[in-house]
Amino acid sequence: FAYQNARIIIVRAHLLLLLLAGTPLCAQDKYQSKDFPVRNAYHGTLAQVRMNTKTAKRFRTVIREQAKEGVNFAGHFRIVGWGCGLGCTTHAIVDIRTGQVYDVPYASVQAIPDVRIPDPLRESAEIIKQYSRFEFSIDSELLVIGVVFNDDVFGVRYYRWHDNHLNLLLELHPGVPPN
């Protein structure tokens, strides 16, 4: 089972390599953390986490446990995540001040896991790893994620956390110039 999942991911990585065709996807970031600053990070106590969404109810234990670690995103939020398969994670966002849980606008994010990769596909997988991203910080509203979303959409997405949800700013795909 794990071998089959690894093989699927490697095949996807190989296909992505073919799509890249020498076009850098993330060579210059259009958006950076400094473009969406958060001035005051919350350092108070954690509010009781509210199970206010289906996701929160289903993954309540992991969400509560990770929320205890405190703020890691956009001043007073915590991005929490859990595995959904080989190289796959899904997330929610917890407001540490209020305990409110917010769903994210994507089902999952997949990247090349750190597993032994068969020699014929190793070069492809290493290139794909360069594009694997999940970047955020306590002092910015920017979230950058890539490589594979919701099974087969390759690229990098830039989101801004604003008004209690992630707003898609830009989506880049291999071989397609940005707008």
Burial, 159: exposed, middle or buried (Cβ in 10 Å; 0-12, 13-18, 19+)?
A: buried
pLDDT digits (tens, 9 = 90+) for 24-78: 444 456 899 999 999 899 999 999 999 999 999 999 999 999 999 999 999 999 9
Cβ within 8 Å of residue 54, ≥6 positions away: none
Give me the pLDDT at residue 157, please. 86
pTM: 0.75
Contact 23, 175 (CB under 8 A): yes
Give me the pLDDT at residue 125, please. 59
